[in-house]
């Protein structure tokens, strides 16, 4: 199941209360505020524990999210664009987090660079609707994925370290 480290991380991310999708006009604004508060707290936690690993922002409707995530391997920082849409059935269904530049480079992805989640993710997410939000999806979905896949992709020579200033598109 979920490892002890992830569990601790999750426990320190505020839980959300409002069950609302982008189709629920006013309630969605309330949900969005909760999302941002949870994300801000999570990033603060990461900074405090010296494990800062992503930044996200959204369009003003909060339906489309984008940003960067990074992974440090052998003291080198590998950075990737991250993006996803909030599905109409959110928060019943989790967002499908994508790293478009890695599309086609690993079998652990669906079309468009959507990461392939572990079999534990969906049951855990569904048990925690509507309390889990974007921050939880990042901690429970993307973080473990990067930890497994990135070292593997580096070892296989599929991704290479880029100096600062270079574009991340290969």
Partner 1 sequence: MASADEIQKQIEELQNKLDSLKKNARQKIDKMSSEVKDSNPYSRLMALQRMGIVKEYERIRTKSVAVVGVGGVGSVTADMLTRCGIGKLILFDYDKVELANMNRLFFTPDQAGLSKVDAAAKTLNFINPDVTILTNNYNITTVDSFTKFLDAIKTGGIDGQPVDLVLSCVDNFEARMAINAGCNELNLNWFESGVSENAVSGHIQFIKPGELACFGCAPPLVVAENIDEKTLKREGVCAASLPTTMGIVAGMLVQNTLKYLLNFGNVSNYLGYNALIDFFPRMDLRPNPQCDDSWCRQRQVEYQAKPKEEKETEVEEVQEVVHENNDWGIELISEDNNEEIKPNAPMASSGLKHAFEAPVASQQSNTIAPTVSDDVSLEELMEQMKSM
List residues near partner 1 by CB under 8 A.
11-12, 14-17, 22-23, 29-30, 32-34, 36-41, 43-44, 47, 55-58, 60-63, 85-89, 92-94, 96, 107-111, 116, 119, 122-123, 126-129, 131
From the list 116, 120, 123, 126, the catalytic residue is 116
Residue 5 or 161 with smaller CB distance to partner 1: 5
Beta carbon of residue 129, minimum distance to partner 1 (angstroms, whole number): 7
Q: Taking the complex as a whole, how short is the minimal distance between the CB of residue 74 and partner 1, in angstroms?
A: 23
73 vs 131 by CB, closer to partner 1? 131
> From CA 6, how far away is CA 146, in angstroms rounded?
13
Shortest distance in whole angstroms from residue 142 CB to partner 1: 15
Asked if residues 128 and 134 have their Cβ atoms less than 8 Å apart, the reply is no
Residue 143, CA atoms < 13 Å, CB-side half-sphere: 22
Cα separation, 43 vs 9, in Å, equals: 11
Closer to partner 1 by Cβ: residue 17 or 170: 17
Minimal distance, residue 86 CB to partner 1, in Å: 7
Is residue 116 part of the annotated active site? The answer reads yes
CA 155 – CA 165 distance, rounded (Å) = 23
Burial profile 23-57: b = 16 or more Cβ within 10 angstroms, e = fewer: eeeeebeebbebbbebbeebbebbeeeeeebbebe
Residue 55 phi/psi, 5° resolution? -135, 140
Q: Which is nearer to partner 1, 11 or 166 (by Cβ)?
A: 11
Q: List active site positions.
A: 116
């Amino acid at each position: 199941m979920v490892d002890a480290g992830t569990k601790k991380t999750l426990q320190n991310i505020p839980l959300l209360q409002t069950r609302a999708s982008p189709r629920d006009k006013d309630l969605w604004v309330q949900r969005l505020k909760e999302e941002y508060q949870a994300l801000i707290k999570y990033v603060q936690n990461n900074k405090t524990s010296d494990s800062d690993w992503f930044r996200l922002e959204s369009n003003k409707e909060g339906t489309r999210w984008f940003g960067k995530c990074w992974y440090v391997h052998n003291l080198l920082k590998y950075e990737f664009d991250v993006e996803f849409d909030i599905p109409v059935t959110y928060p019943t269904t989790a967002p499908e987090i994508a790293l478009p530049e890695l599309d086609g480079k690993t079998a652990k992805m669906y079309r468009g660079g959507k990461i392939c989640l572990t079999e534990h993710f969906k049951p855990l997410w569904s048990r925690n609707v509507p309390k889990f939000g974007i921050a939880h999806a990042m901690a429970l979905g993307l973080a473990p994925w990067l930890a497994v896949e990135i070292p593997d992709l580096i070892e296989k020579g599929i991704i290479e370290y880029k100096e600062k200033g270079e574009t991340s598109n290969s």
